[in-house]
C-alpha cells in the first residue's frame, strides 16, 4: 500500500481545492483498500458531522446527511477519537440507518477520526458488502490517510472553503509568541523572488493585459534559455544539450504556456497561474515510478523558477501597496523586508519560520510590533488581503475574524494603550515593595534603538546584551574595531549603569548566514560557549572589543552562555584574562570587568554553588533552562503548549540557584520571559533574586506589581505555590492573588527573548 499512499499524497498536494481533495481521497482510498465505499464526514460549527464526499453511497446524500457526536457509528468514532473496526455494522449498538445513503447493503465498517491539533475535524470511513473485519494494515492505512487529510481541512478552514457547511468563519493558527501585543489589520504576503511554493493567491483585473504581460515574460525567458544553450553548446554533450531543447518545448503554447493561459483567462494572476501549473507538473513527475522520469521534476522546477523570477521582476515595477495596519506575513522574513513597509503602516508580523530568538523577533520587540513566529500551518499564500488578528501574547493568528472576535481583540488593543499611558508615571519611582525591599529592574537589549526605549522606561542597567545581533546584521564576522564601536555605543548609552554583555551565543535557534551550523539536534549540540571555545580567535576578538569599549567607563560585565561544567568556565576565564593582559601590554587603560555565568542548563543548576565560588555573579536564562528542564522546545508550535514557565520543577530549580548563589556571597539575576511576567515577578522577588532583567516593554508593568505588595506577602504566596504539584494550580493561585489586589489588568501573558 506504500506506493498507493505516496501517489495519493502527491495527488492531494497538487489538487486545486478542497472538493477536489475529497474526491481524490474517496476514489483512491476505495480502490487501494478494495472497499465498496469510501466517505468523508466533516464537522461544522454546530459540531454536526456532514457527509461531504463519497464513492459508493448515493451522491444526492452529499451535503444533506448529517450526524451529531451522539449519532451513529460516525459519531461514535468522533467521540472515541480512535478507529472503529466492525465486521457487522447493523449489529452494533451505535448503528444508525440513513435510507438516503443507500448503505443498507454494506456490512463491514472501518472509520478513522480526522484530527488536527487535538480537534476532531471529521471522520474517514470505508465500508464493504461482505462481512469481514478489516485487517491491521487496512486500519493503519486509513489512519495515515486521515492524518494527511487533517492538514488540508485546517487549510480549508482558513481560506473559507468550509463555510458552505456552516464552518466557523475565523480560523486559528498557533505559533510562538515573538513580540507582545495585539494587531488587527490586512495581510500582505511577502514572497521571496522565484519561490514557487510561496506565490500568493492573486486575481487579475484585466485578463488581456495579464495575458500580454505573461507572453512578454515567456518570450524573454525563451530567448534566455536559447542563448544559454548556444553558449554552452561546446561544453555539453548531446544528452545535456537536449535538455535546453526540452525547456524551449515546454515553454510552447501547446505545453505549459497554454495551461497557464487557461488559468489567466479564469481570472488568476500570471505569477500564481504559473506557479500552480509548474507545481502540478512537478508533483506528477515526483509520483512516477520510473526513476529517470522522477528526476525530471527538478528540471521542471528549475524552468519554473526561471520564468517566475522574470514575472516577479517585471511586475516589481508596480510597487507593492501597503494598507494602513499592514500585517506582514512570510515564510522567512528579513529586516530589509520590514524596511519596505512605509513608516507607521506596519501593525503586525507573522513568520512561518523562526523563533522568539530570531533576528526578526528581536527587531519586532525593539519596534513594539506584535509578532508571531513559527506559524507553520498558516496557509499564507491564500491569505493575501484577508483580515488577520495577530496575538503576540499567546502566539496565535486568526484569519477572517468574526465581528465578536474583532471587538474582543480591539478591547485588548485599547486596554494596552491605556495601560501603557497609566504606567508612565512610575518610570522615575524606585522599584521597591511596600515594606521598602529594593529590587533592581534591568533590561535585555540587542539593538541601539533598545537603549533609548529602555532609558525612557527607567531601566537601571542591562542584564543581557545580545552580542550576536551585530553579527547577524553582516555577511561576515565583524572585525574587532567594528565590534568595539557597537559595544561602545551601548556602554555609553547606559553609563554609569551596568551593561552585561553575553559572549557570542550562536547555535540552537540562532544562526549566522556566513557560519551555518547544521545539526540533527541543535539545542543539544554545538552552541554557546562550546562554539567560541572551539574558536578562541572569535572569542578573544570579541572579549578584546568589549574591554576596549569599556575603557574609561567601567560599567561592563561579561557573561558566559551555555556553561555546563567547571572546566568550560575556567578555560573561558583564562582567555578573558589573556585578552586583558594583552590590552594592558598594548597600553590600553582597561579594568577587569566582573565575570558571570548564565545558568540555563540543568547541570548548571546543580553546580551553581561551584560556579558561584569562581565568578562574580550568576544569571539565570529562564527561557533555555525551562525548555531543558521540561524537554520542550519552546519555539516548536506543536509542543509550545507544554512549555510552562511556572512548572514546579522550574520554580524549585530557581530557588536552589538563588540559595546557592547567596551562600557564596554573590548576586544573582534572571533574564528571559519569566522576569518580564508580572505574576512571576512576585515569586522571583520572594525567592531573593537581586535583579530582574526583561524587555523594556514589560518593565513598568513589573514595577507596578512589585510596588503594590510587601515582601512578606510575596513570600507567603511563594510558600503556597511551592507546594502545588502542577503549573495550572500555580497559575490559578496567582490569578486569584492579582484579582484580590485589583491588578488583573497586568496579567496578560507576555514574551521576551
SS3 690: coil
Q: In what order do the strands lie in the sheet with 49-55?
A: 66-67, 49-55, 37-43, 119-128, 108-116, 84-86
Bridge partners (DSSP) of residue 618 are 597, 668
The answer to whether the bond into 306 is cis (omega within 30° of 0) is no
Q: How far apart are CA 318 and CA 313, in angstroms?
A: 10
Q: Is 437 a catalytic residue?
A: no
Residue 38 is among the residues annotated as catalytic for this protein = no
Residues 469/432, Cβ–Cβ less than 8 Å: no
327 alpha-carbon distance from chain centroid: 15
Name the E strands within 491-579: 499-502, 556-560
Q: How many helices (H) and strands (E) does the chain have?
A: 26, 22
Residue 235 gets which letter from DSSP?
A: G
List the one residue out of 296, 221, 55, 33 whose CA is nearest residue 144. 33
Give, rounded to a whole angstrom, the gap between the first and last alpha carbons of the chain. 46
Residue 686's φ and ψ, nearest 5 degrees, are: -65, -35
d(CA 609, CA 625): 17
- Between CA 474 and CA 128 the distance in angstroms is 63
Cα separations in angstroms, 420 against 115, 411, 456, 696: 41, 14, 13, 12
Within 10 A of 94 (CB to CB), how many other CB atoms are there?
Answer: 17
CA distances from 23 to 47, 61, 266, 633 (A): 23, 15, 22, 38
Name the catalytic one among 155, 359, 437, 647.
359
Contact 733, 160 (CB under 8 A): no
SS3 512: strand
CA distance 317 to 709: 59
Which listed residue (38, 204, 431, 671) is catalytic? Answer: 671
CA–CA separation, 580 vs 551, rounded Å? 12
Cα separation, 570 vs 345, in Å, equals 50
Give kind and range of the element (H or E) at residue 466. Answer: strand 462-466
- Supply the residues annotated as catalytic: 359, 671
Amino acid at each position: 500500500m506504500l506506493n498507493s499512499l505516496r501517489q495519493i499524497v502527491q495527488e492531494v498536494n497538487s489538487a486545486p481545492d478542497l472538493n477536489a481533495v475529497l474526491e481524490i481521497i474517496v476514489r483512491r482510498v476505495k480502490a487501494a483498500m478494495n472497499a465498496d465505499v469510501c466517505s468523508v464526514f466533516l464537522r461544522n460549527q454546530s459540531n454536526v458531522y456532514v457527509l461531504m464526499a463519497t464513492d459508493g453511497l448515493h451522491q444526492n446524500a452529499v451535503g444533506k446527511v448529517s450526524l451529531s457526536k451522539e449519532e451513529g457509528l460516525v459519531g461514535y468514532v468522533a467521540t472515541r477519537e480512535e478507529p472503529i473496526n466492525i465486521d457487522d455494522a447493523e449489529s452494533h449498538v451505535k448503528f444508525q440507518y440513513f435510507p438516503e445513503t443507500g448503505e443498507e447493503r454494506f456490512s463491514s465498517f472501518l472509520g478513522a477520526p480526522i484530527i488536527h491539533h487535538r480537534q476532531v475535524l471529521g471522520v474517514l470511513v470505508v465500508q464493504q458488502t461482505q462481512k469481514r473485519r478489516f485487517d491491521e494494515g487496512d486500519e493503519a492505512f486509513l489512519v495515515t490517510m486521515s492524518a494527511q487529510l487533517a492538514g488540508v481541512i485546517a487549510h480549508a478552514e482558513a481560506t473559507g472553503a468550509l463555510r458552505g457547511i456552516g464552518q466557523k468563519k475565523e480560523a486559528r493558527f498557533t505559533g510562538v509568541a515573538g513580540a507582545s501585543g495585539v494587531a488587527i489589520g490586512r495581510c500582505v504576503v511577502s514572497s521571496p523572488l522565484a519561490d514557487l511554493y510561496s506565490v500568493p493567491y492573486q486575481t487579475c483585473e484585466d485578463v488581456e493585459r495579464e495575458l500580454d504581460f505573461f507572453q512578454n515574460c515567456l518570450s524573454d525567458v525563451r530567448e534566455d534559455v536559447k542563448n544559454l544553450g548556444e553558449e554552452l553548446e561546446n561544453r555539453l554533450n548531446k544528452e545535456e544539450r537536449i535538455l535546453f531543447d526540452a525547456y524551449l518545448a515546454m515553454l510552447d503554447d501547446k505545453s505549459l504556456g497554454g495551461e497557464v493561459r487557461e488559468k489567466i483567462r479564469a481570472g488568476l494572476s500570471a505569477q500564481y497561474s504559473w506557479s500552480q501549473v509548474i507545481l502540478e507538473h512537478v508533483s506528477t513527475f515526483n509520483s512516477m515510478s520510473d526513476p529517470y522520469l522522477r528526476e525530471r521534476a527538478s528540471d521542471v522546477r528549475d524552468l519554473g523558477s526561471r520564468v517566475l523570477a522574470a514575472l516577479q521582476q517585471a511586475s516589481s515595477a508596480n510597487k507593492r501597496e501597503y494598507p494602513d495596519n499592514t500585517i506582514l506575513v512570510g515564510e522567512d522574513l528579513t529586516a530589509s523586508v520590514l524596511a519596505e513597509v512605509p513608516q507607521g503602516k506596519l501593525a503586525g508580523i507573522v513568520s512561518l519560520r523562526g523563533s522568539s530568538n530570531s533576528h526578526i523577533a528581536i527587531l519586532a520587540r525593539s519596534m513594539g510590533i506584535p509578532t508571531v513566529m513559527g506559524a507553520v500551518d498558516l496557509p499564507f499564500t491564500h491569505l493575501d488581503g484577508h483580515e488577520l488578528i495577530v496575538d503576540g501574547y499567546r502566539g496565535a493568528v486568526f484569519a477572517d475574524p468574526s465581528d465578536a472576535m474583532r471587538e474582543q481583540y480591539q478591547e485588548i488593543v485599547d486596554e494596552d494603550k491605556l495601560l501603557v499611558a497609566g504606567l508612565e508615571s512610575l518610570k522615575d519611582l524606585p522599584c521597591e515593595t511596600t515594606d521598602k525591599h529594593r529590587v533592581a529592574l534591568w533590561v535585555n537589549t540587542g539593538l541601539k534603538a533598545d537603549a533609548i526605549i529602555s532609558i525612557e522606561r527607567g531601566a537601571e542597567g542591562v542584564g543581557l546584551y545580545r552580542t550576536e545581533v551585530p553579527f547577524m546584521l553582516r555577511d561576515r564576522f565583524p572585525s574587532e574595531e567594528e565590534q568595539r564601536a557597537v559595544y561602545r555605543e551601548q556602554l555609553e548609552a547606559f553609563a554609569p549603569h551596568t551593561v552585561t554583555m553575553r559572549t557570542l551565543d550562536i547555535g540552537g535557534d540562532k544562526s549566522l548566514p556566513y557560519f551555518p551550523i547544521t545539526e540533527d539536534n541543535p539545542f543539544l549540540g554545538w552552541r554557546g560557549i562550546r562554539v567560541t571555545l572551539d574558536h578562541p580567535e572569535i572569542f578573544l576578538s570579541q572579549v578584546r572589543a568589549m574591554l576596549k569599549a569599556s575603557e574609561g567607563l567601567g560599567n561592563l560585565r561579561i557573561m558566559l552562555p551555555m556553561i555546563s561544567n567547571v572546566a568550560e568556565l575556567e578555560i573561558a576565564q583564562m582567555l578573558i584574562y589573556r585578552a586583558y593582559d594583552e590590552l594592558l601590554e598594548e597600553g590600553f587603560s582597561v579594568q577587569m570587568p566582573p565575570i558571570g555565568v548564565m545558568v540555563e542548563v540543568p547541570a548548571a543548576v546543580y553546580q551553581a554553588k561551584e560556579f558561584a565560588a569562581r565568578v562574580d555573579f550568576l544569571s539565570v536564562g529562564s527561557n533555555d533552562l525551562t525548555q531543558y528542564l521540561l524537554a520542550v522546545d519552546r519555539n516548536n508550535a506543536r509542543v509550545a503548549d507544554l512549555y510552562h514557565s511556572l512548572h514546579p520543577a522550574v520554580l524549585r530549580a530557581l530557588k536552589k540557584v538563588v540559595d546557592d548563589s547567596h551562600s557564596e556571597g554573590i548576586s544573582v539575576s534572571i533574564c528571559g520571559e519569566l522576569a518580564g511576567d508580572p505574576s512571576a515577578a512576585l515569586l522571583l522577588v520572594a525567592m531573593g533574586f537581586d535583579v530582574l532583567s526583561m524587555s523594556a516593554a514589560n518593565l513598568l508593568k513589573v514595577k507596578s506589581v512589585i510596588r503594590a505588595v510587601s515582601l512578606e506577602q510575596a513570600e507567603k504566596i511563594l510558600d503556597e505555590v511551592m507546594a502545588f504539584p502542577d503549573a495550572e494550580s500555580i497559575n490559578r493561585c496567582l490569578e486569584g492573588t492579582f484579582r484580590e489586589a485589583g491588578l488583573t489588568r497586568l496579567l496578560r501573558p507576555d514574551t521576551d527573548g
